Amino acid sequence: LQDIRNTVGNIPMEWYQDFPHVGYNLDGKKIYKPIRNKDELDMFLEKMENPDYWRTVQDKMTGADIKLTDEQVDLVHRLQRGQFGDVRFDPYEPAVDFFTHEVMIHPVTNRPADKRSFIPSLTEKEKVSKLVHAIKMGWIKPRKPKDDAPTYYDLWAHEDPNSILGRHKMHVPAPKMKLPGHEESYNPPPDPEPGLSSRSRSLAWGAQGTSTGAEVGVGGDGRGTTTAAVDGRGTAWSCLTACFSQVNVDPEDLIPKLPKPRDLQPFPTTQALVYRGHTSLVRCLSISPSGQWLVSGSDDCTVRFWEVCTARCMKTLPVGGVVKSVAWNPNPTVCLVAVCVEQSVLLVNPCLGDKLLYGATDQLLESYVAPEEERVQPVQWATATVEEHGKGVRLVVQHGKAVKQVTWHGKGDYFASVVADNSNMQVLIHQTSKRWSQNPFRKSKGLVQCVLFHPVRPYFFVATQRYVRVYNLLKQELTKKLMTNCKWVSSMAIHPGGDNIICGSYDSKLAWFDLDLSTRPYQLLR
């Protein structure tokens, strides 16, 4: 595996010297240059005081300072002396004579030469004759030599000096006005009253008794009424009064027709991938925070690591017992998987993906320093043996009874385990960096089915058979008690935003809680 922190490829890094970054990572985000605010005096002091200054170089891909190892320094010295890079290469080893120096009398093969080696080709002769005929007929013309002389010409050579220029000849007329419509050409007289009938309207017009009004006439054709008036100057005016009928619209017709629920398919209908490899019941799954890897545990006493997009099994880890639960560390900078096997929780480094990532995880675990005074803990932390370390197991947390679930905190340092027990030791919280475990509860509130950490806030969810209790880890008190209204909670999942939680049960129900709304289910799905 190669260093995949910077993905710009094999290009000159001088292209980035005017930018604040040196490239891009796998997520497409910029890799910024490290801040270098040292002047010449600081550089001189570092050169005098730092004994490893002479072997420190700058990585152009990331901009970081790298200390060369002894092997790399020896390689540089050999190359400077003009020697070979490989120490084991011997340039003075005896040469091997691949061919004998004795010339044989008879040749190896006495095969006679081919006839085509000394007779002109008829196919080539036919092609040449066709090309000669095409040149004679003028079908194939030789290439004209390119004229490299610049093609300059006078733009106004043929222009009459006494004529008006072309731009003065072009006359753009003004845009035409819009023709007058009914609004501009005719203003009808106002109606006496909009609710009057035809005869009442005619009487009202006649009753006005103006000095200019001479005659009023009313007519109609069933679709409306036409009113005509003649003023004192003998001009006739007419207008059409339309009768509008009210349209009754059913409000149900305005609502779009919804499809039938049986026609909707909010579920996948096509099988995309199958992860084959387990020989028995698969009990648990977990996906890496990058979404590239998948871990599964089975009753065949193995843990398998898969690539999600190809369904390829990358690694198989035999654990010697039935796997009840697996959980991938949600911290993207830590490559660690927790596996529940019988009475132990195994912390496994699968060594997948970026080698710098899982290498840093091993360095983080190896940097633990044991305290001087041994503390009393409810579990035992043990380092993996050499054989287990070769398989990927780094730490073993041994419990007193069988472990049935494990889950990580969002930061990736703490994880919780659930033990099949009726006492107050059912739930334990462990810290990986300090290898310290504690029991958060003094007394039992029922048989615990599963637990969860809130992804954002310091809340801890504990699901018993009928209820889900929400505890505040900072204040160490009970915050909420959710009523599931179902028998025996089997599983629990929380939204990444932390506002919604879903509980599954053994009586085929899903209880959906909105934590901001109520302690009772927002919706119960059967």
Which residues are bridge partners to 408 per DSSP?
Answer: 415
Task: Please give the CATH topology (third level) of the domain spanning 282-367+377-525.
Answer: Methylamine Dehydrogenase; Chain H (2.130.10)
The H or E element that residue 525 is part of is: strand 523-525
pLDDT exceeds cutoff 90 at 74: yes
Paired tokens of 106: 């008879």
Phi/psi at 144 (5° precision):
-75, 140
Lowest-pLDDT range, 107-116, 126-135, 150-159, 438-447? 150-159
Q: Assess contact for 403 and 345: CB atoms under 8 A.
A: yes
Which residues lie below 8 Å from residue 232, measured CB to CB, with a gap of 6+? 211, 212, 213, 214
How large a percentage of the chain has pLDDT more than 70?
Answer: 84
The residues, any chain, with a CB within 8 Å of residue 234's CB and separated by 6 or more, are none
Report DSSP state, residue 85. S
Length of the chain in terms of residues written: 526
Residue 297's closest CA among 271, 272, 275, 312? 275
Percent of the chain with pLDDT over 90: 34
Strands (E), 25-125: 30-32, 56-58, 65-67
What's the pTM?
A: 0.52
Three-state DSSP at 356 gives helix
**H-assigned helices in 187-238:** 198-207
Instruction: Name the strands in the sheet holding 337-341, side by side, starting at the edge strand that comes first in the sequence.
Output: 323-328, 337-341, 344-348, 393-398, 380-383
Structure-model confidence comparison of residues 327 and 376, the more confident one:
327
Return mean pLDDT, the chain. Answer: 82
> Sign of dihedral through CA atoms 467, 470, 471, 475?
negative
pLDDT at 269 over 80: no
- The pLDDT, as a whole number, for residue 270 is 81
Could you report how far apart the first and last alpha carbons of the chain are, in Å?
48
Q: For residue 235, is pLDDT > 60?
A: no
User: What are the extents of the domains in the chain?
Assistant: 13-81, 282-367+377-525
3-state helix, strand, coil in the chain (%, to 5): 15, 30, 55
